[in-house]
Structure formats: structure tokens, C-alpha cells
Amino acid sequence: MRDLETIVGPENVLTDPAYLATYTRDISIVQETWPEAVVRPAFTVEVQRIMRWANKYKVPVFVTSGSCYQGYGGVTSLTPGCLVLDLGRMNRILEINDKLYYVVIEPGVTYRQLVKEFDEKYPHLILDVIGGSPEASVLGNAISRGVGHTWWPYAEHFECVCGMEVVLPTGEVVRTGSGQLSGSKSWHLFKWGYGPWIDGIFTQSNFGVVTKIGLWVAPRPEAYDWFVIACPKEEQVGEMLEFTGKVMIRGIIGGGATIGNALSSLSANITYPWEINGGTAPLPDEWIQEKAEEHGVGAYNLFGGIYGTEEMVELRWKQLKEIMRDYPNLYIMDRDMALRHAEFAHRVLYDHLGYPHRSLFGWAHWRGGGLSFYSPIAPFTREDALKMQEIGKKITAKWGFDYMMKYVSGLRAIHHVGLLTYKVPDEVERARHCFLDLIKTYMDHGYYPYRCNPWADDYILSRLDAGYLKVITKIKRALDPNNILMPGYYCPEVIE
């Protein structure tokens, strides 16, 4: 501890249980796990020294940049007694290039911070934001391969990462992409560099601590318009998904378009009706439908943005309406009615324009504090949409929960972000069983989680291709011979 204090100053090595408590778990199903201490470096060189120290004493290190990793698991959830490396003090915006539209940021830079900077000094730039906390780390989300809500490619955050600085588990620094050449003029402009491209191995991984990224940001479009397209019946979800794929692939709507089922939107407006069945069974379909009608919500609702110049927006509206003719069950919701609904309004007036907010945290409060995301990927087809729904409804009902979900759009496939909500602590154990059952069943049908809670890591890894696992474990062993950086995180610990 004295060594660590020498590296970062005593005020940045924290062991007070009241402080450590915030790192023990997030709102998801992870087990509460206590770290030994939290260390808060301010510079890359301090991160290097900490990693060398950790190797010397064989202390496992878990990293957080935003410290609130909500819904996908806590930072320390794998190894009790570890050291948490909290990069929140490394929160410098190192460069904003508003001619070539990129930023260079450290891990502690939050969505709120970067958006504020844009608003005050660079109103012609737009940052794609997440539906999660405005205090989340922009870098942390990009390297978790999170997705946002404006348009492609910006909504697929890792797609826009260009050039990284990474501290390896043994303390050396590596610069990726065109950063290979000292003094390179294109580090944050040309991704691929020369030879094998290694950036991907530092995402969803325990191969390094990312201390800097270049991130492409978008020019604020001249014109923007929005819509909410709904379908009245849940069996029409297949049409909704197929339609979304068509307008996405043709570039008619922005990439971060979101579809949600009725309950996932209603939960923003009403409280959970415990009086119906005490939470032991899913809410009846008739009740959901009745409430959906009362609140003007479809069985599924697609919120989309159309961006470009005035002429482009007009043309894209025309194209969208033409494609809609093939889908008579879908309808465009009246705009005033859509804006009266809390979630729809936040989506189309904030998310789509790059302003983060906390309104979706209603999901966690809906049933009593618990929210865990399970996120299998689905192709844009009718059959897959129906299968996803069938599995989700069946398995959540089996464990007495409700099927609540969002689809967040990709370019060829879509992220089915399931929202498992439950009461803490009473329903946590049941939620864990349900969560694993969902992951297993979706995987059995070929639906792969795009990202997952560390709590289910072992199970997911056990299902992956042996050749792939061999490669990643070899890389891990080479880069982290003492297995001290986030052991077990997205990579098996037992190496053949």
C-alpha cells in the first residue's frame, strides 16, 4: 500500500469500506464482491507503475473508467480482494479536431463532459450517446463495444475508435493503428496502420488497460426529423424487424434506431402492479395491451431518426413510406401523441441528437432496483424476430418475470437487449436462474450474446469454439504471464 501511495499519492489509495462499497456490485445479478483497495492514477505512467507493482505482488487488478458499469456487471465481480484501478481522474479531453471530426480522450472522460464541451465550443459536432448514465465513460463504452442512437457508423462506438494507447498487463505501453510510427500524422485518422491490426484484442478483453483513444465524431446534420412507427399486435414483431432491416441497410434511417416492446416503454410511465400476482408470474398479456392502449403505445415501437440536408430528409421520408407500403400492419404514430410519452420523447429529442439523460433508469426502479441486460444478436428476419420473442417470453415466464426488451439496430443484425428486471434482494436468486436459462436457450438456437455480464462468462466461454479459445488464451498468457489483469474476464482462466 505504501508503494501505491508513492505512485499516486496517499489520497488516491482508498481502503475505507464506505468508499469501497460503491465498487462491490452494480444493479445487475452479480455477486457482491469486495476489493481490497481502490487506486486512482492520473497519468499513463502511473498506470504503468501500478501494473508493475501488481505483477511484483501478484495482485489481481480490475479496471473501471466510469465506475458505474450499469446492468452488465460490476467491476470487481470476479475476484474478491483485488485492486480496483479507477481511471476516473484521467479525464482529459486531449484534442478536439473540428475540421476532421475526431477527438482524443482519456478513459475518465464522461458523456456529460464531452457533450458539454461540444455544446459550449463546438456546436457543429455531435457525439453519439448511450441510453445509460451520462456519467459513463465514453472510452469504456467504446471498448465494451456498446451501441448508441444516432446514425451509422457513429452509433457503433468501436467502429469509430481510431488509434489507441494501451498499457499492457506487464506495464509496457503500446500504440495501435497508425500510432506505430512515432510522430505519425494519421494516428486518429487511419485505423489500420501497417501489418496485423490489433485494436480489437483490447476490446471486451483483459489484455491491456486502454489509456487513450481517438474517436471519430459526427458533423451535426443540417436537418433531422424523427418518427415512431408502431404495430398493434406482438405477433407483428417480425414485420417490424424486417422493415427496420430494409430501411437500415439502405441508409434511410440512422443506425441507432431502437425498437421496444410495450412493457419496456410503459415501465417509464407507470409503476409495477404488484397487486396483480405479487410478481410470481408474468403480467397478463391483456393487462399489458389495455395499458398500452391507454398510454398510446404499440405492441412494439420503433423510434428512428432521419438525418441529412432538408432535401435528403424529404427524400428519405419518401423512401421510408414507399417501403412501409409492404407492411400494412405498421403505422406512423401521431407526433403529439408520441411526444406525450416520456420514453418516446426522450429518445427522439435527446438520444437521437446526442444528449445523454437518465430517464431510462426507470427500468431498474420498475420492479425494485434490479436490472440485468441479456443481449443476444438477431438477424433482421421475421422468423428470427418471432423466435427471439418466443424464447424470451417462455423463459422469463418460467421464472415468474416479464419479457421486456429493446432492439438496438446494427447494419445486418440487431442487438436484442433483454431487460431482466427484479426486486432486490428478494428476487435476485430467481433472476440469476432466469438469466442463465435465457442465455443458454438463446445460444441453443444460435443467438449469440454481443456482450455479457461477467457472472455468465464461464458458461458462455464453455460454449465457444476450441480453436478460438486456444488463440485468446495464448495471447493472454503471452501478454499477462502472471494473469493479474481482470482474470477470467472474457477469457478462460484455465489454460491447457
DSSP letter at 189 equals T
Strand locations in 400-447 (E): 405-409, 413-423
For the chain, counts of helices (H) and of strands (E): 17, 19
Q: Which of 35, 41, 60, 131: binder of ligand FAD (CB under 6 A)? A: 131
DSSP letter at 282 equals P
> Counting contacts by CB under 6 A, is residue 140 touching ligand FAD?
yes
Q: If binding means CB under 6 A, how many residues of this protein chain bind ligand FAD?
A: 33
Burial (Cβ within 10 Å: 0-12, 13-18, ≥19) of residue 324 = middle
- With respect to ligand FAD, which residue has the nearer C-beta, 146 or 255? 146
**Span interacting with ligand FAD, options 144-152, 228-236, 272-280, 301-309, rule CB under 6 A:** 144-152
CA distances from 156 to 34, 349, 372, 406 (A): 33, 20, 21, 16
**Span interacting with ligand FAD, options 180-188, 229-237, 360-368, 380-388, rule CB under 6 A:** 360-368
Burial (Cβ within 10 Å: 0-12, 13-18, ≥19) of residue 278 = exposed
CA distances from 453 to 125, 131, 458 (A): 33, 18, 10
Given a contact cutoff of 8 angstroms between Cβ atoms, the answer to whether 415 and 256 are in contact is no
- With respect to ligand FAD, which residue has the nearer C-beta, 7 or 371? 371
Q: Which of 35, 60, 146, 254: binder of ligand FAD (CB under 6 A)? A: 146
- With respect to ligand FAD, which residue has the nearer C-beta, 150 or 236? 150
**Span interacting with ligand FAD, options 266-274, 357-365, 385-393, 431-439, rule CB under 6 A:** 357-365
Q: Which of 4, 29, 59, 75: binder of ligand FAD (CB under 6 A)? A: 75
- Within 13 A of 254's CA, how many CA atoms are on the CB side? 34
> Counting contacts by CB under 6 A, is residue 453 touching ligand FAD?
no
- With respect to ligand FAD, which residue has the nearer C-beta, 107 or 308? 107
**Span interacting with ligand FAD, options 51-59, 60-68, 262-270, 288-296, rule CB under 6 A:** 60-68
Instruction: Tell me the Cα Rg of the chain.
Output: 23
Non-local (6+) Cβ contacts of 257 within 8 A are 149, 244, 248, 302, 303, 304, 305, 408, 409
* Least spacing, CB of residue 204 vs ligand FAD, in Å: 8
* Least spacing, CB of residue 7 vs ligand FAD, in Å: 17
Q: Which of 29, 42, 209, 257: binder of ligand FAD (CB under 6 A)? A: 209
Phi then psi dihedrals of residue 32, to 5 deg? -70, 125
Q: Which of 101, 118, 363, 374: binder of ligand FAD (CB under 6 A)? A: 363
- With respect to ligand FAD, which residue has the nearer C-beta, 161 or 228? 161
Q: Which of 24, 33, 48, 65: binder of ligand FAD (CB under 6 A)? A: 65
Taken in order 187, 190, 193, 197, the sign of the CA dihedral is positive
Q: Which of 13, 29, 42, 130: binder of ligand FAD (CB under 6 A)? A: 130
Distance, in Å, from the CA atom of 312 to the CA atom of 221, rounded to the nearest integer, reads 11
* Least spacing, CB of residue 160 vs ligand FAD, in Å: 13
Given a contact cutoff of 8 angstroms between Cβ atoms, the answer to whether 72 and 144 are in contact is yes
What are the cell numbers at 309? 440536408
- Bridge partners (DSSP) of residue 409 are 414
Site string for ligand FAD, 84-103 (x = CB under 6 A): ---x----------------
Distance, in Å, from the CA atom of 418 to the CA atom of 403, rounded to the nearest integer, reads 8
* Least spacing, CB of residue 211 vs ligand FAD, in Å: 7
Site string for ligand FAD, 166-205 (x = CB under 6 A): ----------------------------------------
Task: Show contacts with ligand FAD in window 392-421 (CB under 6 A).
Answer: none
What are the cell numbers at 475? 495471447
Binding site for ligand FAD (CB under 6 A): 63-72, 75, 87, 107, 130-133, 136-137, 139-141, 143-144, 146-148, 209-210, 360-361, 363, 371
